[in-house]
């Protein structure tokens, strides 16, 4: 009836006015729910509707890390739970269905709900039951939903959280790709990486000492084949959530700057942000245009969590390079400022003297580890195309005076070692004569070389020339 009146008004007032005004309900539809990292398609309708959401609670064993199983409690079978997308002004008819195989009752508190407990009391559901309640989405934004059944902390710690996006009336600006990423902290009896089935550890949870901190429910949920994807030139939007239960996330993408951040999932955006804080039970919407190819790394910048507890994901960006934006490595120059190694040349007191061959080799080994191994490698085999081998090196074994000169003065230009050409720069390292004698004696007595002994006197008879490497 009301609808007809509005249609009539539109006809009277002319074009440009939608047939159904905002706040007017038209029809109904069933929400498309997606599993992370996927996001349901943008809502294109320009009217409000009744949205039916059916969400299943499933308790199930899944992998939290390689070789580690955990019993997750889920909304929709995944951690985080299914992504729900509706529009400001929509009325949601929400069905929470607790699977008959569940051991626990569960409910849902949606932060997008205006009403007691965010729906928690109305949705308390025993295994094998379904609860239905309805709410009107008054405020646009990105909201967390979670289970709020006692013990609440335990239900959340087991993975009972997800995101619901309430698009503003005018919709979200168009982007090329959207992803769903949600952080959570997990507490297992066994320590990080302990294989086999791991039960929940209440004490660790209370003490806020997580065993795992992960995105999308598991270590490596977004690496390898499961890495997120984008192409150079595309704009990427990530709906970021943090289920907690305890930790706050310092959300960061290594190699990108967020062009826009809808801080805390709200209506206003900040620009040019490096790291955004995502509170437990909160969210953030980040957007960035990818300009160059490569791997972007999604992290919680509380960085031990990333490298020791699992909060690491990848976005693989494919496309053409743009050297004006990122050059790649352009030079690897020698940098030996005054007061570094050079100083030891004149540092007479520093020089300990080897008493015998065994001593000399031992001291030489130390010099090698500290001064040579980084380039020529600890096993003396060098790196193909960059650093020539010292192991079994024909160039080295042929002429000891020449070898002394290399270490004393550095070396540049093309040389051939064991049939392979190198054309690079070895810097003069500023070692004392004693150190040079020791290190070369060590090298000559290692890796199948000629067992020549180099003395300090041998070193002193080789001329000092202008050092290589631009000094
Ligand atoms: Cu629950």
- Please tell me the predicted confidence (pLDDT) of residue 96: 97
Closest by Cα among 92, 85, 73 to 38:
85
Distance 210 CA to ligand 1 centre (A): 20
DSSP code, position 31: P
Tell whether the model's pLDDT for residue 384 goes beyond 90. Answer: no
Give the integer Cα–Cα distance in Å for 317 and 299. 16
pLDDT bin (cut points 50, 70, 90) of residue 340 is low
Tell whether the model's pLDDT for residue 332 goes beyond 80. Answer: no
Helix (H) or strand (E) holding 48, with range, is: strand 48-65
Tracing tokens 């030139």 back to the chain, one arrives at: 233
The two three-digit tokens of residue 302, written as one number: 């509380």
CB-based neighbours (< 5 A) of ligand 1, an ion: 106, 147, 149, 155, 160
Distance 27 CA to ligand 1 centre (A): 32
Tracing tokens 């992803």 back to the chain, one arrives at: 179
Q: Give Cα separations from 47 to 116, 134, 170, 392 (angstroms).
A: 27, 18, 10, 78
At 82-115, the pLDDT tens digits run 999 999 999 999 999 999 999 999 999 999 999 9
| Sign of the C-alpha dihedral computed for residues 157, 159, 160 and 164 taken in this order | positive
- Please tell me the predicted confidence (pLDDT) of residue 113: 96
At 176-223, the pLDDT tens digits run 999 999 999 999 999 999 999 999 999 999 999 999 999 999 999 999
Distance 55 CA to ligand 1 centre (A): 13
DSSP code, position 146: E
Distance 244 CA to ligand 1 centre (A): 14
Give the integer Cα–Cα distance in Å for 403 and 459. 10
The two three-digit tokens of residue 223, written as one number: 């690496």
Distance 304 CA to ligand 1 centre (A): 29
Helix runs in 196-270, H state only: 202-206
Closest by Cα among 287, 316, 320, 291 to 228:
316
At 268-312, the pLDDT tens digits run 999 999 999 999 999 999 999 999 999 999 999 999 999 999 999
pTM over cut 0.95 = no
Tell whether the model's pLDDT for residue 225 goes beyond 80. Answer: yes
Distance 32 CA to ligand 1 centre (A): 22
The two three-digit tokens of residue 28, written as one number: 């109904």
Give the pairing of strands 109-110 and 228-231. unpaired
Q: What are phi and psi of 47, to 5 degrees?
A: -125, 170
Distance 73 CA to ligand 1 centre (A): 7
Show the beta-strand stretches assigned E in 330-398: none
Give the integer Cα–Cα distance in Å for 35 and 286. 19
Closest by Cα among 240, 218, 238 to 228:
238
Give the integer Cα–Cα distance in Å for 36 and 310. 17
Percent of the chain beyond pLDDT 90? 78
Q: Give Cα separations from 164 to 54, 70, 84, 140, 234 (angstroms).
A: 13, 25, 5, 10, 24
pLDDT bin (cut points 50, 70, 90) of residue 355 is confident
- Please tell me the predicted confidence (pLDDT) of residue 461: 94
Helix runs in 62-194, H state only: 152-157
| Region label for 413, one of left (φ > 0), alpha (ψ between -120 and 50) or beta (otherwise) | left
- Please tell me the predicted confidence (pLDDT) of residue 352: 66
Between 232-236, 325-329, 343-347, the lowest mean confidence (pLDDT) is in 343-347
């Amino acid at each position: 009836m009301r609808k007809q009146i509005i249609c009539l008004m539109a006809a009277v007032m002319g074009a440009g006015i939608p047939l159904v005004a905002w706040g007017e309900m038209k029809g109904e539809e069933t929400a498309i729910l997606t599993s992370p990292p996927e996001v349901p398609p943008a809502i294109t309708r320009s009217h409000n509707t009744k949205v039916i959401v059916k969400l299943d609670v499933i308790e199930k064993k899944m992998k939290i890390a390689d070789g580690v199983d955990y019993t997750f409690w889920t909304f929709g079978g995944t951690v985080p739970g299914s992504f729900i997308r509706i529009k400001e002004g929509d009325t949601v008819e929400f069905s929470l269905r607790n699977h008959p195989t569940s051991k626990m009752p569960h409910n849902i508190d949606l932060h997008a709900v205006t009403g007691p407990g965010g729906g928690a009391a109305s949705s308390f559901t025993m295994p094998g039951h379904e609860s239905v309640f309805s709410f009107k989405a008054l405020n646009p934004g990105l909201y967390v939903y979670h289970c709020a059944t006692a013990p609440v902390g335990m239900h959340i710690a087991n993975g009972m959280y997800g995101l619901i996006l309430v698009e503003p009336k005018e919709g979200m600006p168009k982007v090329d790709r959207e992803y769903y990423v949600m952080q959570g902290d997990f507490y297992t009896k066994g320590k990080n990486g302990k294989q086999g089935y791991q039960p929940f550890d209440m004490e660790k949870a209370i003490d806020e000492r997580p065993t795992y901190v992960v995105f999308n429910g598991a270590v490596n949920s977004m690496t390898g084949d499961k890495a997120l994807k984008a192409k150079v030139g595309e704009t990427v939007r990530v709906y970021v959530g943090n289920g907690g239960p305890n930790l706050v996330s310092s959300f960061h993408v290594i190699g990108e700057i967020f062009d826009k951040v809808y801080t805390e999932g709200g209506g206003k955006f900040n620009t040019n942000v490096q790291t955004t804080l995502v509170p437990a039970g909160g969210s953030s919407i980040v957007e960035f245009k990818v300009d160059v190819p490569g791997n972007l790394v999604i992290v919680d910048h509380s960085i031990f969590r990333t490298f020791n507890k699992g909060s690491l994901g990848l976005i693989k960006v494919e496309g053409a390079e743009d050297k004006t934006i990122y050059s790649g490595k352009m030079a690897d120059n020698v940098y030996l400022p005054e007061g570094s190694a050079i100083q030891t040349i004149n540092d007479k007191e520093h020089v300990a003297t080897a008493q015998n061959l065994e001593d000399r080799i031992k001291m030489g080994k130390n010099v090698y580890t500290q001064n040579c191994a980084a380039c020529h490698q600890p096993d003396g085999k060098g790196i193909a195309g960059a650093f020539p081998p010292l192991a079994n090196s024909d160039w080295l074994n042929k002429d000891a005076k020449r070898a002394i000169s290399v270490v004393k003065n550095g070396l540049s230009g093309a040389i051939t070692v064991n049939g392979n050409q190198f054309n690079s720069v070895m810097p003069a390292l500023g070692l004392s004569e004693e150190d040079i004698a020791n290190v070369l004696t060590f090298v000559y007595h290692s890796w199948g070389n000629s067992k020549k002994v180099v003395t300090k006197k041998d070193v002193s008879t080789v001329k000092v020339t202008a050092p290589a490497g631009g000094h």
